[in-house]
Amino acid sequence: MPHVNTVLGSIPAQELGFVSVHEHIGYGMPGSELDDRWWKTPEQRYEETVPKLRAFHDHGGGTIVDATGICNGRDVDYYRSLSAKTGVHIVACTGFVGGDTALAHFARATTDYLAGVFVHEISVGIGDTGAKAGVIKVGVSRGGRMTDLDKRIYRAAARAAVTTGAPILTHLAIDAEPAVDIFREEGLALDRVLFGHADDGVNADHTRDTWIAEQGGRVGFDTFGYETELPDPPFWARPRQERLDHFLRFVEVAGIDKVLAAADANCSALGWPGVKGHSVNYLFEQLIPDLRRAGWEQSKIDTLFIDAPADFLAIKY
């Protein structure tokens, strides 16, 4: 039976329920714990995060994939506590948001070493927590083109995915051509890769989303809610209707089986102010009503948030 690694143990894929496939319990850049203005105590983070996860659960949410990589504030013991407290399954990741967030120890490491780290965290556990990672995170560094380190991490991730059966999430879908080449060279089926952030306001015009789908990859529209209509929108914001129209066009062309959706929300930002007024619950409060107004039936919404994520997240050897 296909299973998924959560921080509280492996569960059958069909028990995930409603899944938001790209979120953050807490995300910050390396060294953010040294910031004396924005850093929060564990108690403050807990107080800020629990109501958001409880609301997600009350809306009908079942699972959140935490896409916070190594060096960016990943805290698996904390995730386990939150999951037990709120009833929300949490899937943790191994890997890196991008080569530019990997500390020197990892940045200097070989492909084989990095692949070994990823395999260990998926098959044995993260640190001494006993919790196994369920996905592998990779990303394009700032600048919009894959660096040599990015490519090394992507290749290591591909090898780990082939070895363990775990899927890969990418941070940004720009510069996808070298990524596709690497995955193919390593023998990884592209439906095991979700090319993320195809919809953000900075990179949407530079992302070959339909081309990725034609190659067999999945495309993440996973920054829903980062809108120019927010009181203080971030630089990657986008008008609400523009993003929705982009998403609907993509689904019409590529098909519902090629897309996954999320909000990329940060429950409690680490060492930076975060984005006020944005949370994972945008999916229930705004996106799903928008989809219904666009003519989507419940079965299609279920495919997007239940069936497709379960298939993607299932460990497949």
Note the pLDDT of residue 1: 75
Q: Kindly state the helix (H) or strand (E) to which residue 1 belongs, with its residue range.
A: none
Amino acid identity, residue 307? D
Note the pLDDT of residue 7: 98
pLDDT 10s digits, 156-170: 999 999 999 999 999
Average pLDDT over residues 265-269: 97
pLDDT 10s digits, 93-107: 999 999 999 999 999
Query: What's the whole-number average pLDDT of the chain?
Result: 97
296-314 burial code (b ≥16 CB/10 A, e <16): beeeebebbbbbbbbbbbb
Residue 33 has pLDDT above 90, yes or no: no
Label residue 36 by pLDDT band (50, 70, 90).
Answer: confident
pLDDT 10s digits, 55-64: 999 999 999 9
8-41 burial code (b ≥16 CB/10 A, e <16): eeebebeebbbbbbbbbbbbbebebeeeeeebbe
Average pLDDT over residues 250-275: 97
Note the pLDDT of residue 301: 98
8 Å CB contact between 13 and 314 = yes
Residue 317 has pLDDT above 80, yes or no: no
Note the pLDDT of residue 32: 87
Helices (H), 124-238: 148-164, 176-185, 209-215
Label residue 35 by pLDDT band (50, 70, 90).
Answer: confident
Question: Which of 35-39, 53-57, 177-181, 286-290 comes out lowest in average pLDDT?
Answer: 35-39
Q: What is the CA radius of gyration of the chain?
A: 18
Label residue 279 by pLDDT band (50, 70, 90).
Answer: very high
Tokens of 106: 């990892």
pLDDT 10s digits, 104-136: 999 999 999 999 999 999 999 999 999 999 999
Note the pLDDT of residue 31: 87
| Dist. CA 263–CA 270, nearest whole Å | 18
